[in-house]
A and B are shown apart, each in its own frame.
Chain A
Amino acid sequence: MNFLLEGFFQAFNLLLSGNAETYSAMWATVKVSSYSIGSSLLIGIPLGFCLGYFDFRGKKPLRTIVDTMMALPTVFIGLLVYAFLTHRGPLGNFGLLFTLPGIAIGQTILALPIVIGLSATAVESMDTKIRITIMSMGANRRQLFLSSLWESRHGILAGAIAAYGRVMTEVGISMMVGGNIKWHTRTITTAIALETNKGQFGMGVALGLALIAIALCVNVSVSFLRRRN
């Protein structure tokens, strides 16, 4: 077990000394996960709201599909995105393979069903009296939509955090679409996998701690925002 303890000491050493390789992976992770979570929230929240709020034909099968997609394996998404972005693929001309935006596309596909599904659940569990209350105050359709969205914000936020957690910790997409290129597309999770294979536990543990620290920062910020509201 000594190697684990040594790994922890080495981890603090790497983080405190500002090791460039470690910080490069951390920066790539923050950047790519921000792209993917931003785009999945922009697309997913309105879709999730509509799925939860409105009754329409085919709603139940659609909900089942979304719920199933919440469990999509990351390597499968990585494979599909790779196939689309490779130079022989339909989106090959954009040159997105082995880039951070390429990884972000894959991670958006990963996060989107989670954001849609959990937003829909938050809206569905919203008190039905809220609609009457908002309308009885004289709201128009747009105001009704925005106020209902705001009232279900806690549930939607929980969905966003769950999606962010999934995006931050995935390996399959980053590895297959990003290629784990040092200084460019190496994220924390792909770096941990690589360093562990090389027997560099210190580096692996350092990156793991960094990942936990980022997750902690995100959760603390969200909790602070919730308390303020």
Chain B
Amino acid sequence: MDIPVYEIQSLNHSYAGKTVLSIDHLKVQPASIVGLIGPNGSGKSSLLRLLGLIERPTQGKILFNGLMVEPFSNEARFRITLLPQEPFLMKRSVLNNVAYGLKLRSNGKDIIHKAGEALALVGLPFKDFARRPWYALSGGETQRVALAARLVLKPKVLLLDEPTASVDAASAQLIKEASLRARRELGTTLIVASHDWQWLYEICDEILHLFKGKILGRSRETIIFGPWQKLAPGKWGKILSAKQQLLVPAPPNQEAAAVIEVLSVSEDGSSVAGEDIVLSGTVSRLSLERKTGKIFATILVGDLPFTVRLTFQQGKAHTIFPGKTIFIRYRLDQIKWI
């Protein structure tokens, strides 16, 4: 087996004494695409900054190709590049922004040709954009120039932090295509943080769910956030509608988040077995997990989204489609608190 491109050991990172990231162990295989999913503040950007060697972890080790690395490490700084969440260009022309990294590497040969190729990859014609100053670009163009400035370096690892969050649909499509092309043609390892779950599930070899700085798991989880109400003595949950209540065991605190595993779906809510709890909801979205071929159905119960993983046969048997009313089943004793 290949040496992992990244290996994280006992990593703990904090800002002003507050822990923002805590990962015991993590490996990333070369030329893979890893997706990072999680709510705002879950630690995605912090993890990318650490992997991009922008910051030093408060505790723990990051190995790159088997070697321990830190900011400015010569073993890694020319091989890893990070595209931050908010597009940012330096106060110079588009050409000089794209060529900046090449100049740092003293790789001044054929800069114009290389910059032209990189700009073409992100759909920006060289003759129209090369001489433009940094301030004469739209948000989408700025993000694409920033990506071109990374792609021209032919990196071994490309870290993308919400690359399509603040751009129009056309720019988003070009950014997605250019990133995947880097992986296909150069064998670049991609690590992408995004709220675009559907895209991540289409392209990723592995998806990591982060929550409060921890990796929850490698599959799609249903996480319901507090605050929780005491509905009756010994009975906790949330009131979803006049007819439905989401029941949970006593939470460790009011703001705790519950990880709920949906056991099954059915078109008939009457068949309750033992301790099972049944809720009625509406299918709002279906997506395909490329790696496993499984279908993910998002079911809205009141305003709360529940995620169910189905095989193709299960999806076909229940004739699941968006807008259909369906019943989900879960058990109290299988709820985990985080």
Report A's interface with B, CB cutoff 8 A.
Answer: 127, 129-141, 143, 147, 151, 153-154, 229
Contact = CB atoms under 8 A, between A and B. Distances in A.
A91 B168 CA distance: 67
Nearest to B79: A138
B121 interface: no
B88 A136 contact: no
Contact of B104 (A130, A138, A141, A153): A138
Contacts of B149: 137
B329 interface: no
B101 A138 contact: yes
A136 B53 CA distance: 8
A132 B105 contact: no
B54 interface: yes
B175 to A, nearest CB: 16
Contact of A129 (B71, B81, B86, B91): B86
B61 interface: no
Contacts of A147: 90, 100
16 contacts: A130-B88, A135-B71, A135-B72, A136-B81, A137-B81, A137-B101, A138-B78, A138-B80, A138-B81, A138-B101, A138-B104, A138-B105, A140-B72, A143-B104, A153-B91, A229-B91
Contacts of A127: 88
A143 B103 CA distance: 11
A151 B84 contact: no
Contacts of B72: 135, 140-141
Contact of A133 (B77, B90, B153): B90
A56 B81 CA distance: 29
Interface residues of B, number: 28
Nearest to B92: A229
Given A130-B90, A151-B90, A137 B100 contact: yes
A140 B52 CA distance: 14
Contacts of A139: 77, 104
Interface string B101-125: 1001100000000000000000000
B49 interface: yes
B71 A136 contact: no
B160 to A, nearest CB: 11
B150 interface: yes
A210 to B, nearest CB: 35
A139 B82 CA distance: 13
Contacts of A134: 90
A138 B83 CA distance: 12
A139 B78 CA distance: 8
A170 B91 CA distance: 35
A95 B82 CA distance: 58
A134 to B, nearest CB: 8
A70 B47 CA distance: 43
A130 B91 CA distance: 10
Contacts of A135: 52-54, 71-72, 77
Task: Please give me the 6 A-B residue pairs with the lowest Cβ-Cβ distance, nearest first.
Answer: A137-B101, A136-B82, A129-B88, A138-B77, A138-B78, A135-B54
A131 B82 CA distance: 12
Contacts of A154: 91
A129 B88 CA distance: 7
A26 to B, nearest CB: 36
B124 to A, nearest CB: 18
A136 B54 contact: yes
Given A135-B72, A139-B104, A154-B91, 16 more contacts: A129-B84, A129-B88, A130-B88, A130-B90, A131-B54, A132-B49, A132-B54, A133-B84, A133-B88, A134-B90, A135-B54, A135-B77, A137-B81, A138-B101, A138-B153, A153-B91
Nearest to B88: A129
A157 to B, nearest CB: 12
